[in-house]
């Protein structure tokens, strides 16, 4: 007789995400609330970080690349602090949608960023709404790509979406 003592899975599901938001007004607002402690640290780290900062460890720690190759790759990555940058090549699905317009971007970010201070999160949401026109006018780039081919043990139904995308560049 066999006794299973833990959970076993043969799931081959895959998810990934890259979200890159360049907007100086949105950056200012999100950093303000980040400083006030409105967001959990694990989520707040995606605010005001550059693409290079977020991704450099994946190249530096790669044993297949020599130091010169790493430097070439890192030089190509943007070093500008972004309002929000998340790069998750494989992992937990953090978003099951993408914005449908520039006006939706800030709300979609708030849906991802978890908060331990509900009132402060609502103050942030209120300020985002009050400054919505200014935020919308200041988008430089929005790159939002999320992919998920399976939800835990169950594959999506034939008519269910498995990827969500939104792109904008001024």
> Tens digit of pLDDT for each residue in 55-76?
888 888 888 999 999 999 999 9
Position 63 in a domain: no
pLDDT of amino acid 157: 57
pLDDT beyond 80 at 112:
yes
Total number of domains in the chain? 1
pLDDT beyond 60 at 153:
no
Which whole number is the average pLDDT over 28-32?
96
Average pLDDT of the chain, as a whole number: 84
Per-residue confidence band for 80, with pLDDT thresholds at 50, 70 and 90: very high
Position 7 in a domain: no
On whether the CB atoms of residues 148 and 12 are closer than 8 A, the answer is: no
Q: Retrieve residue 57's tokens.
A: 């460890």
CA dihedral 110, 92, 55, 102 (to 10 degrees): -30
Q: Retrieve residue 62's tokens.
A: 């790669």
pLDDT of amino acid 10: 45
Position 70 in a domain: no
Residue 103: domain span = 15-48+83-169
Position 135 in a domain: yes
Ranges of beta strands (E only) in the chain are: 15-22, 84-88, 141-148, 163-169
CA atoms within 13 A on the CB side of 156: 14
Residues 160, 121: Cα–Cα separation, whole Å: 31
Among candidates 17, 50, 10, 21, which has minimal Cα distance to 110? 21
On whether the CB atoms of residues 133 and 23 are closer than 8 A, the answer is: no
Among candidates 141, 165, 170, 144, which has minimal Cα distance to 82? 141
pLDDT beyond 90 at 133:
yes
Question: Residue 5 phi/psi, 5° resolution?
Answer: -105, -5
Q: Retrieve residue 120's tokens.
A: 């402060």
Position 5 in a domain: no
Position 41 in a domain: yes
Q: Retrieve residue 162's tokens.
A: 């498995």
Q: Could you tell me the pTM of the whole model?
A: 0.81
Percent of the residues in the chain that have a pLDDT greater than 70, as a whole number: 81
Which whole number is the average pLDDT over 124-137?
96
pLDDT of amino acid 121: 87
Position 100 in a domain: yes
Position 58 in a domain: no
């Amino acid at each position: 007789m066999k006794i299973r003592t833990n959970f076993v899975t043969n799931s081959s599901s895959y998810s990934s995400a890259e979200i890159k938001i360049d907007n100086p007004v949105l950056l200012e607002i999100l950093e303000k609330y980040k400083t006030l402690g409105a967001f959990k640290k694990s989520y707040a780290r995606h605010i005001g970080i550059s693409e290079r900062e977020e991704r450099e460890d994946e190249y530096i720690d790669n044993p297949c690349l020599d130091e010169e190759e790493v430097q070439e790759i890192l030089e190509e990555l943007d070093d500008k602090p972004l309002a929000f940058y998340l790069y998750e090549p494989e992992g937990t699905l953090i978003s099951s949608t993408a914005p449908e317009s520039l006006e939706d971007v800030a709300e979609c970010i708030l849906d991802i960023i978890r908060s331990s201070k509900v009132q402060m999160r609502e103050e942030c949401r209120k300020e985002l709404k009050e400054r919505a026109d200014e935020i919308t006018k200041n988008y430089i780039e929005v790159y939002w790509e999320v992919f998920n081919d399976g939800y835990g043990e169950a594959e999506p139904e034939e008519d269910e979406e498995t990827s969500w995308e939104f792109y904008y560049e001024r």
